[in-house]
């Protein structure tokens, strides 16, 4: 994609664009995840059938054959789980690697003024830590959303066939859960973005300190370097504390909600059993489906945290990819041919900010094989001139 494509598309559309080269792995991952969800959904139905038909009618042979089939299905589930775990993460790391490759290629095209404004440590964070969560988001994001939606819908359908009034009570809790999740996710996203920004800051301080450690030792400046690093470390620690506080509030709220769901089901179900409007075996089956219902809700909870971390890194990636080089080749630029090794600079002027000129009408000619020394006071433009020549 071009810089204009990154500017035009939303971050999520850009993210899904990187799935295209690995469609087969993505399809295998989703297919196996759906297979696992189907097996999980079938177990409560088999349990209900055994409690109603096989055991009361003493059909023990059928019962044990069905149990053998269930055991075989869980062997299959183990195999599917291996595929989802291994190939799903393989898919995620490939997406991350493609994103990192494009980011590095774009960074090489950016002009020198971009690197004047952005320290090396921060740019390293864009290429490393900012992208780490994208592997998990690419793997678990679509997979968890799809399987959770299918499991919740399937569980509600079966629960409605058992006792629609109780299933309606469970269904009414979904919008409440989603409201809590969306409200908390916004807070986590902001906290995660702030933490990633401070990660770049501390990487910048590390890069600065390690690259200049010889100078620090020469001037016995270790104490000052330590103070500067410790200050950056404290800022980073504070930002992570804010994210962890938002995460703890979110997870504790969700866990309270899910635990209360069990209490509500037992309470209403027990009431129906007392009134002889519901069989206790149906209540057992209902509770098994509540477990199937709660697990995807927890997945959605974890997805919110994962999305907050991954999307913060994705936004920082898109921010760089939307940056256009300030110096670009002309459309009709001709390739350099017949290079003889001669340098001929004529009437060159240059300024970094458009105001104060570093170079003014400089001319220079260097013949092939000739050695030229450029001398002058500090800040006189010697390095600037040498950096301009290759351009």
- C-alpha 41/C-alpha 35 separation (Å) is 10
What count of residues does the chain have? 391
Q: Which of 76, 46, 68, 88 is nearest to 289 (CA)?
A: 46
Q: Which of 283, 262, 290, 292 is nearest to 38 (CA)?
A: 292
- C-alpha 132/C-alpha 92 separation (Å) is 10
Q: Out of 31-35, 91-95, 299-303, pick the least confident.
A: 299-303
Q: Rounded mean pLDDT of the chain? A: 81
Residue 83 binned pLDDT confidence (cut-offs 50, 70, 90): very high
Question: Are residues 73 and 38 in contact, defined by beta-carbon separation less than 8 angstroms?
Answer: no
* Per-residue pLDDT reduced to its tens digit, 313-364: 888 888 889 888 877 777 777 777 777 778 888 888 877 766 677 777 888 8
pLDDT for residue 79: 94
- C-alpha 289/C-alpha 70 separation (Å) is 17
- C-alpha 1/C-alpha 5 separation (Å) is 6
pLDDT for residue 354: 64
Could you give the domains of the chain? 3-321 (1.20.1560.10), 343-388 (no CATH)
Instruction: Detail the DSSP E strand segments found in the chain.
Output: 343-351, 357-366
130, two tokens = 């900012």
Radius of gyration of the chain (CA): 31
- C-alpha 308/C-alpha 186 separation (Å) is 8
pLDDT for residue 365: 85
Residue 140 binned pLDDT confidence (cut-offs 50, 70, 90): confident
- pTM here is 0.70
Residue that is written with structure tokens 């058992």 in the block: 162
Residue 70 binned pLDDT confidence (cut-offs 50, 70, 90): confident
Which DSSP state fits 329?
-
Distances in whole angstroms, Cα of residue 334 to Cα of each of 261, 330, 337, 347, 388? 70, 9, 9, 21, 18
Average pLDDT of the residues in 217-230 = 77
**Following DSSP, what letter does each residue of 92-152 receive, concatenated?**
HHHHHHHHHHHHHHHHHHS-HHHHHHS-HHHHHHHHTHHHHHHHHHHHHHHHHHHHHHHHH
Q: What is the largest CA-CA distance in the chain?
A: 104
Burial class of residue 297 (count of CB atoms within 10 Å of its CB; 0-12, 13-18, 19+): buried
Q: Give the contacts of 192 (CB within 8 A, at least 6 positions apart).
A: 243, 308, 309, 311, 312
pLDDT for residue 185: 67
Q: Out of 75-79, 197-201, 374-378, pick the least confident.
A: 197-201
Burial class of residue 45 (count of CB atoms within 10 Å of its CB; 0-12, 13-18, 19+): middle
- C-alpha 89/C-alpha 83 separation (Å) is 10
Query: 10 Å Cβ neighbour count for 368?
Result: 9
- C-alpha 202/C-alpha 235 separation (Å) is 9
């Amino acid at each position: 994609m071009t810089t204009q494509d990154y500017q035009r598309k939303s971050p999520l559309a850009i993210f899904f664009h990187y799935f295209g080269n690995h469609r087969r792995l993505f399809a295998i991952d989703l297919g196996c995840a759906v297979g696992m969800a189907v097996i999980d959904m079938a177990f409560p139905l088999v349990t209900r059938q055994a409690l109603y038909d096989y055991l009361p009618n003493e059909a023990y042979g059928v019962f044990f054959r069905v149990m053998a089939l269930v055991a075989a299905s869980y062997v299959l589930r183990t195999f599917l789980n291996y595929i989802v775990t291994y190939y799903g993460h393989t898919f995620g790391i490939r997406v991350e690697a493609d994103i990192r490759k494009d980011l590095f290629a774009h960074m090489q095209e950016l002009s020198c003024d971009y690197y004047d404004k952005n320290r090396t440590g921060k740019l390293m964070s864009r290429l490393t830590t900012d992208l780490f969560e994208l592997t998990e988001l690419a793997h678990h994001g679509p997979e968890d959303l799809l399987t959770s939606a299918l499991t919740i819908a399937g569980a509600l359908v079966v629960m409605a066939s058992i006792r629609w009034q109780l299933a309606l009570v469970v269904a009414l809790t979904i919008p409440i859960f989603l409201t809590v999740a969306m409200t908390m996710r916004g807070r986590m996203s902001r906290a995660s973005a702030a933490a990633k920004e401070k990660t770049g800051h501390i990487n910048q301080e590390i890069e600065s300190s390690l690259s200049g450690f010889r100078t620090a030792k020469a001037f016995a400046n270790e104490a000052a370097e330590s103070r500067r690093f410790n200050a950056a470390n404290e800022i980073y620690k504070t930002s992570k504390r804010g994210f962890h506080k938002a995460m703890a509030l979110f997870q504790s709220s969700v866990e309270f909600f899910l635990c209360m769901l069990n209490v509500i089901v037992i309470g209403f179900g027990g009431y129906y059993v007392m009134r002889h409007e519901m069989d206790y075996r149906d209540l057992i089956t209902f509770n098994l489906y509540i477990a199937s219902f709660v697990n995807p809700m927890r997945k959605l909870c974890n997805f919110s945290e994962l999305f907050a971390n991954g999307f913060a890194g994705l936004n920082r990636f898109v921010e760089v990819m939307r940056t256009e080089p300030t110096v670009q080749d002309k459309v009709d630029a001709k390739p350099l041919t017949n290079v003889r090794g001669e340098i001929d600079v004529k009437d060159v002027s240059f300024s970094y900010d458009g105001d104060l000129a570093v170079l003014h009408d400089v001319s220079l000619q260097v013949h092939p094989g000739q050695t030229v020394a450029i001398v002058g006071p500090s800040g006189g433009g010697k390095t600037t001139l040498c950096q301009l020549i290759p351009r």
